[in-house]
Amino acid sequence: MPGRSLLQKIWDQHVIARLSEDTDLLHIDRHLLHDLGGSRGLLDLKSRGLKVHNPELTFATPDHALSTAPGRAGTSKIGMELLAALRVETAASGITLFDVDQPGQGIVHVIGPELGLSLPGATIVCGDSHTCTHGGLGALAFGIGSSELTHVLATQALIQKRPKTMRARFEGKLPLGVTAKDMILALIGHVGAAGGTGYAVEYAGSAISALPIEGRLTICNLSIELGAKMGMVAPDEKTFEFLRGRPYAPQGEMWDLAVKAWRELPSDPDAVFDREVVIDVEKIIPQVTWGISPEHVVGVDGIIPDPKAVDDPARRAAIETALEYMGLQGGAPIAGTPVDWVFIGSCTNSRLSDLRAAAEVARGRKVAAGVRAWVVPGSENVKREAVAEGLDKIFIDAGFEWREPGCSMCLAANGEVVAPGQRSVSTSNRNFVGRQGPRARTHLASPASAAASAIAGAIADVRMMGR
């Protein structure tokens, strides 16, 4: 029998019942709720006359619908109603809520790891597709829809079909100015936005081992943008160091027991994957998207694709549609494209290391005239740590706006939008049509690239900034 992969090991540990050859009833170890879907699920459950099966394994925080303006000014009436409903319904069910202004509040995929709620070997779900983020700690984490959310509330279990397995190995030493975000965008460019559909992806290789945990979370965050609803990295000493002492991480004897179990999780050397991809990271340069799918990505020194040079009619039409929406000319260099907005935040890139990287570029410089640039920390704790380090001051001095934690301009569900036709460089994860507001144009990039673009007033190569 061949060895087992990280995915198989975690999966097998969670099977409550085998329902068919390839479908199991899985135990869910952590269920995270947010303001958009959390109270709706709890109300749905109530209307069926059911109770939350394990409130102690369920945690909630508001993030999507809140304004991130100082004092949360401008949160819509409906956003306030959702917050009120989340408070009432979590309290009624005995679910811990990390509320506004409290340590612990933040984007659900930032707070899970930060609080030690997300653990290696755990199954973690949330009604949000970027739940794959938590896989960066060696968890089996994935997004679910509203019906599945109700199912988990009612049963603490979920019916799941075993996915195929893919291993993406990143090998080599990361060049200067190139980040985890660039690594994963390069992979998406390579395999396409549907390349991972039906797979759970394990990220491995020397460049993944070398990455700090926050970088691994960024990598796993974008799994869904290559079509994979699950992405994961085997836990190692860095993972354990990251988690040690966090509020909800096991302590004392329990910690030792947990670490012993976690050491057994990495894929066996002879584990077989349905698909293997190898990426040479030494060839990666900072990435930026030019179109309306994350697969529409080039190196920042690259050229926007020219539809006239493409033979396949479907591909040509897709490029034309994207360029028309984005207001770009095929065949032109992407660098130097003027921008109106820069957004540094989201569950992809709003952790302390992301803010440090952006601040490093911004320090002592000024945001270009005519550009609005926001920095939105991922959580209350990230915000407090950043302030303690003086990062807020660096940003404010450079002309960035420093905001309260939340999803903000990543999805435009909270009144925070890029105006129609305006162009934004964003550290988030989706450049979809209208994602940052109706007819808004989004270019995805790393925090360092976004900060460089804010300073330049145009899409910029951070490697040319001389730091």
Partner 1 sequence: MPKPFDKLTATAAPIMRGNIDTDVIIRIERLVGNGIRGTLGKWAFGSLRYLPDGSENPEFILNREPYREAEILVTGPNFGCGSSREGAVWSLQERGIRAIIGSGFGDIFFANCFQNGILPVLVDKAVVDQLAADIEATQGAGKVSIDLEAQTIVSPSGARHAFEIDPRRREGLLKGLDEVALTLQRDNEIHAFQASDRTARPWIHSTRISA
Residues lying near ligand SF4 in the complex (CB under 6 A): 63-64, 107, 109, 128, 130, 346-347, 407, 410-411, 428-429
**Which residues have CB under 8 Å from 176's CB, separation 6+?**
463
- DSSP code, position 367: P
Residues 287, 185 contacting (CB under 8 angstroms):
yes
107 interface partner picked from partner 1, ligand SF4, none, CB below 5 to 8 A per type: ligand SF4
| Sites for partner 1 among residues 347-376 (CB under 8 A) | none
Question: Would you count residue 213 as binding partner 1 (CB under 8 A)?
Answer: no
Decide: is 88 part of the binding site for partner 1 (CB under 8 A).
no
Instruction: For the sheet with 275-280, list strands across it.
Output: 230-233, 199-204, 164-171, 275-280
| For partner 1, the closer CB: 204 or 228 | 228
The identity of residue 462, as a single letter, is: V
Dihedrals phi, psi of 67, to nearest 5 degrees: -70, 145
State the DSSP string of 348-389.
TS-SHHHHHHHHHHHTT--PPTT-EEEE--SBHHHHHHHHHH
When binding is defined by CB under 8 A, the residue of 197, 237, 282, 283 that contacts partner 1 is 197
Name the binder of 428 from partner 1, ligand SF4, none, CB < 5-8 A by kind: ligand SF4
**Least separation in angstroms between CB 103 and partner 1:** 12
Assess 34 for contact with partner 1 (CB under 8 A). Answer: no
Q: Which helix (DSSP H) or strand (DSSP E) does residue 298 occupy?
A: strand 297-299
Binding mask 228-247 for partner 1 (x = CB under 8 A): xx-----------------x
> C-beta of 27: minimal distance to partner 1 in Å?
6
The binder of 207, among partner 1, ligand SF4, none, by C-beta within 5 to 8 A per type, is: none
157 touching partner 1, by CB under 8 A: yes
Binding-site member from 34, 109, 365, 430 for partner 1 (CB under 8 A): 430
Plot region of 26 (φ>0 → left; ψ -120 to 50 → alpha; else → beta): beta
Residue 303 binds what, of partner 1, ligand SF4, none (CB under 5 to 8 Å, by partner type)?
Answer: none
**DSSP, res 458:** B
In DSSP notation, 414-442 reads SS--PPTT-EEEESSS---TTTTSTT-EE
**Residue 133 gets which letter from DSSP?**
G
> Taking CB under 8 A as the criterion, which residues in 158-187 touch partner 1?
159, 161, 163
Closest distance between ligand SF4 and the C-beta of residue 134, in Å? 12
Helical (H) or strand (E) element with 278: strand 275-280
